[in-house]
Structure 1
């Protein structure tokens, strides 16, 4: 039943991306409820991100080997279990455990791309991949918009029960979707998975805790990440069935798309993180967390409008146009950040830029590899997006308003330039 594929993967991606950001706007409230310091409560986000970073390439590779639908359902099932733990938790350690388990939901992204590539006909595939890519931003925005009102009205537990309901619907839809053809005959590279998990954990911890932990801890973590990535690369080049095909990632098209993804994610996620803080700042607007979340609504709406336009342009053109809109938005905020109209205009521009960029990048990474490598390649691309977003979020938290917006405008401008190196058409020798 192919008609169930699209709603299943879109809902799964929406749930996973919403789950990541659902706690951001209410972290102060969670800290008060659990009697933990502000420096510790951010682990409610960090635990999810760490699990998500590890789940992406592993789930993608498992999907390539054993079938994307099967892995999609498994990731959703694990997410459902973790979400129940979050909803019923009465202690911060239990909440962290639930968030870590829920982070496995991020594995739905690479397997969703693989399932779409196998089951959706070519004429509809670019639009479907664009819509799937847009779920990153749409779900992420939804998480930040609804968290404040939901928590204020019904309590923290109700941040998670609706996500559980949506996940169960996605499981039913996925179960009704047709089974895809697995390549089979392979094995999971356990050594590579352990090395990559260690490298990603060290990297994301060094990024996410850089403002809290001393340099004596952050620098060794960053060094350990580099060392583990080096060992991982050597190990992957020496085995016949690696977790990540390093040689494939060195192709010009794949490497450039991943680089552009990380850069534009840093700019977009940084600005999106800074905007609610700006709106809540008593010295600027002094709005509530609920009002700050609602400011992001135009961004999500415009994102939905812009996403279907991306496949009508070349991938390179869509990325450059989207990044250019981001430059305009951040430049506006750098000049005028104390008037609410400028925030709304910037949200519209960022929404259009986000929709165009990530819809195009999703299609570019899928088209840049053979079908049997779809899960692996999109998993690595998702890691690039996660790492870039983590860097942007930390910069947003550390910088003042004009300086931060100027920096994000420069980063987005770098993405405009870098996108020019993306090959307009895939060739196996790139």
Structure 2
């Protein structure tokens, strides 16, 4: 209960900061609802992570089968995000957010009931429905940009960006204790709660004043090719260890991903209204921030994947703490709290020094923290301190990413560009989780033997080095410098529309 109380107090603090300013006038009433919606989607992503072994037992499947509860969400989210962003730009972000929240609620109910009935297929289907709500993120940025006063937009964007990390961290924190008390189905009922509250709150969020929507239609061919490429890539990443990295199936999936990506690029260059304008992905204003997003996602998810595994290692092996899932959740609580508290801090740093400086500060702090965790982890007090600092680091990094992205493009491109950025976070997370597992597993002295402590040390240090690379990317010449969200896009993109 003290975790929930602390998180509630922190959330109230953030919302009060967002609603106040020099004139003490409130921000548009929709900002708290958008934050709640984004939080619910982020919570759903990682809610099963700490309880996969419990799901395997309850649903009578192997451990590799249980991982599909995580993979299914990531696949569906990666596919839905760019499509939802484009739909929001064309037909209104509020409408797409409502649809996404309805899918999140429906998926949560399906997954909860299926888990109670012991239906593995039904639970996976529910996770797919939950994953389709991933489009809430880009549309939340788009709606905020249309409805929030310019002087408060930076704080709201920072808070929305932070929700990606906060919700994900909280999902890992509460899963263990909740499963111990109420069973695995309770995790999905927990996700249904913010989904229902945000859906009800959207009824009170007015639609922005009507304006001429961007010309064009949804690029269905591009959507199909992008979906196929992402499914092949994430499937290969998530199943590489289980099937074998050199197995024909994994090689075929990687080849398919490359071929579909090439076909996607070919199509997008030739359609009148592409699903993703490739200039927004690799153009000079966004290339560095997109690379930094992918890299920092790898570093973060590598670290948060390693932490539960390390602290749950039996002490008989000479390292680890033998923690239960519930104890692991309590250990990671400081990370979630500090991620939430980092949102207003990121907004202030961005206002004073720029969003790029805030991101670099977060990435550098993450490198120090994760590297330190790999070298100093003998006492639980050390791990608690590193967890708190890691939450602050990635809270700064993720919160500032929103400002970098939104400030680099025109208003009508907000949905699709933030969708691209969200996809890169998802792909980076999958890569980071796999990288961490591969490094740790490679330290085992023989097949079937537990990993050595040196495997965790190496994996943490590598994750820290990756985070440092993210800071270096934004320090390169020509890195994007965010400008006020209300300004026009740069001449290159403006001439291309």
Settle same-fold status: TM greater than 0.5: yes
- Map residues 106-125 of structure 1 onto 2, 5 A cutoff: 106-125=134-153
Check whether the contact 2:27–2:152 (CA below 8 A) recurs between aligned residues. no
1:262·1:387 contact (CA, 8 Å) conserved in 2? yes
> Cα 1:270–1:357, aligned 2, differ >3 Å: closer, same or farther?
same
Please give the alpha-carbon distance, in whole angstroms, between the structure 2 residues aligned to 1:424 and 1:7. Answer: 27
The question of 1:389 aligning with 2:425 is answered no
Give the counterpart of 2:400 among 342, 346, 360.
360
CA distance in structure 2 between the aligned counterparts of 1:164 and 1:423, rounded to whole angstroms: 38
1:249 offset after TM fit, Å? 2.2
| Maintained 8 Å contact 1:2/1:177 | no
> How far apart are 1:429 and its partner, in Å?
4.6
Structure 2 portions without partners, runs of 5+: 1-25, 441-454, 484-488, 493-497
Find the partner of 2:124 among 96, 99, 107.
96
Give the counterpart of 2:415 among 367, 375, 386.
375
Structure 1 unaligned regions, length at least 5 = none
Using the size of structure 1 for normalisation, the TM-score is 0.97
Please state if 1:258 is matched with 2:290.
yes
C-alpha distance in 1 between matches for 2:480 and 2:215: 33
Among 278, 282, 296, the alignment partner of 1:246 is: 278
Q: Which residue of 2 aligns with 1:166?
A: 194
* Residue equivalent to 2:323: 287
Provide Cα deviations, 1:359-410, integer angstroms capped at 9, x if missing partner. 1111110111111110000000000111111111112222221110111111
Q: Which range moved further: 183-192 or 10-19?
A: 183-192
Q: Would you say 1:127 and 2:155 are equivalent positions?
A: yes
Aligned partner of 2:16 in structure 1 is none
1:413 aligns with 2:468: yes
Distance in 1, Cα, partners of 2:276 & 2:44? 26
Distance 2:196 2:376 in 1: 44
Contact 2:216 2:272 in 1 (8 A): no
Identify which of 36, 43, 51 aligns with 1:26: 51
Which of the two has higher C-alpha Rg? 2
Checking the alignment, whether the CA contact within 8 Å between 1:251 and 1:429 is kept in structure 2 is: no
Q: Secondary structure at the match of 2:103?
A: helix
Separation of aligned partners in 1, 2:142 and 2:66: 35
In the alignment, which residue of structure 2 is the partner of 1:199? 229
Whole-angstrom distance in 2 between the partners of 1:317 and 1:184: 33
Q: Does 1:304 align with 2:340?
A: yes
Question: Are 1:15 and 2:46 an aligned pair?
Answer: no
Structure 1 Cα separation of the partners of residues 185 and 464 of structure 2: 37
Give the CA RMSD over aligned residues.
1.5
- The match for 1:428 is 490
| Deviation larger for 172-181 or 263-272 | 172-181
Per-residue CA deviation, residues 126-172 of structure 1 (Å, 9 max, x unaligned), is 00000011111111111111111111111122111132122111011
Q: Which range is displaced more, 247-256 or 130-139?
A: 247-256
Which residue of 1 is the match for residue 172 of structure 2?
A: 144
* Counterpart Cα distance in 2 of 1:350 and 1:50: 26
Corresponding pairs, count: 430
Query: Per-residue CA shift, 1:219-278, capped at 9, x if unaligned?
Result: 221111111111101101101111111123222221111100010111011101111111
